[in-house]
Amino acid sequence: MAITEPAEERLALFIDHENVAIGARDIGYRFDPAPLMEALAERGKLLVRKAYADWNLFSEDRRGMVDSNVELLEIPQRSDSVRKNAADIQMAVDALELAFTRDFVSTFVIVSGDSDFTPLVSKLRELNKRVIGVGLKGSTSAMLPPACDEFLFYDRLEGAPRRTPGSAPAGRAKKKGGTKKSSGKATTTPAPASEPKAEMTPDDAGQADKPAKASSQKQDLRKLERLIARTLSGIQSSADGAVQASNLKRALLRKDPTFNEQDYGFRGFRELLRHLEEQKVLVLTQGSAKGDPEVDFPSAPRDEDAAFQLLRTTVKELMDELGGDPPLSGLKDQLRKRQPDFSEKDLGYSGFLQFCKAAVNKDVVEMDWEEPDQEYYLYVEDDAPAS
């Protein structure tokens, strides 16, 4: 008897490149499609990838687009014409044509912060299509996100690249007793951004996420564990219901079509999952389909309490050294100085900011956002519990 595979979303991606590239540049980022492709891989199968621009004006962005298999649609701009409308109209026409001619495309991803695309989004939803919008936090029209089924801010995606690394603030005046008062400014003003710079660490770029003194095989396995945990977290955040093992593997293959569990010494994907369950990375339960277990994180991930305690201790030590509250920027490097193999991804967190917010929820540390500095600051209350 044939086994019916669970249905998966089929996505079409349309990028208004001029809009997002300029918006990213204005807040210190560089638009690279790779982080977006990884986020979309957790949501479904990407069938169509198109980007619209006068590519003579964005020649430095061509390579990243080609590497991500995005089709470049050339929209030349005449000196005597209105610049913005040509690409927008072509993109809207192509999206609607695809919606009418390809019933199997279930989700449209519109990458732009321009409110002019709001009617397109509304029409696609009338045609029973799911719409995911993508834009920059500081340059997206307030009209566009509410019109979409889901909206992603590019500058909040893991791995979104900055143009130039900014200097981390030295610290702020110490917070006393948890009272909400205006604190002193950092001695170094960080570059404007809608999210803190701490997300862009060497770990997020995939360059320094290796435990000290481990064989290359074990390092590869640790990377795989983190990839699986990050992928599972992404699927859970974008879809309702339990995650089946088959869905998890398809998401991994969308991220890396060369993925094969046999390269890591496992005879099958279920054997790999059982190994991760033994390591307390995942929990497997019997699903509705025989031989396709449901995958989830354990209620108490391994070493989570120790990781939170490391964060708390590090923040307290930095408060003494700086004479004030340490910024989130650079804090992960400080944790790694004390524990070289630290990675929040071992615990299922997609980024360091998410890990710190979880620590706040558990009263391990406190964290404030300072608008003038565009930065988070962490501190420990004297009477706060240790974990």
**C-alpha dihedral (36, 42, 48, 51), degrees to nearest 10:** -10
| pLDDT on residue 77 | 72
Mean pLDDT of 107-121: 94
CA-closest candidate to residue 223, choices 248, 252, 194: 252
The burial of 260, by beta-carbon neighbours within 10 Å (0-12 exposed, 13-18 middle, 19 or more buried), is given as: exposed
**What pTM, to 2 d.p., does this model score?**
0.63
Query: What residues contact 255, with CB distance under 8 A and at least 6 apart?
Result: 38, 41, 227, 231
Cα(158)–Cα(45) distance, integer angstroms: 20
Mean pLDDT of 36-42: 90
Mean residue pLDDT of the chain comes to 81
| pLDDT on residue 175 | 66
Q: How confident is the model at residue 214 (pLDDT cuts 50, 70, 90)?
A: low
Residue 340 has pLDDT above 50, yes or no: yes
- State the angle between helix axes of 83-101 and 118-126 in degrees (0 to 180), rounded to the nearest 10: 10
Instruction: Name the β-bridge partners of 327.
Output: 377
Q: How confident is the model at residue 184 (pLDDT cuts 50, 70, 90)?
A: very low
User: Which range in 89-103, 186-200, 224-238, 249-263 is most confidently predicted, on average pLDDT?
Assistant: 89-103
Cα(307)–Cα(355) distance, integer angstroms: 9
Q: What is the pLDDT of residues 257-270, one digit of tens each?
A: 778 888 888 888 99
Q: Which of 21-30, 33-42, 207-216, 286-295 has the lowest mean pLDDT?
A: 207-216
Mean pLDDT of 214-218: 72
Relative to beta strand 107-111, strand 172-173 is unpaired
CA-closest candidate to residue 180, choices 368, 375, 372: 368
By the 8 A CB rule, do 172 and 377 touch? yes
Residue type, 384: A
Q: What is the pLDDT of residues 6-23, one digit of tens each?
A: 568 899 999 999 999 999
Q: Which of 49-58, 99-108, 284-293 has the lowest mean pLDDT?
A: 284-293
- Residues of the chain with pLDDT > 70: what percent? 82
CA-closest candidate to residue 315, choices 306, 303, 326: 326
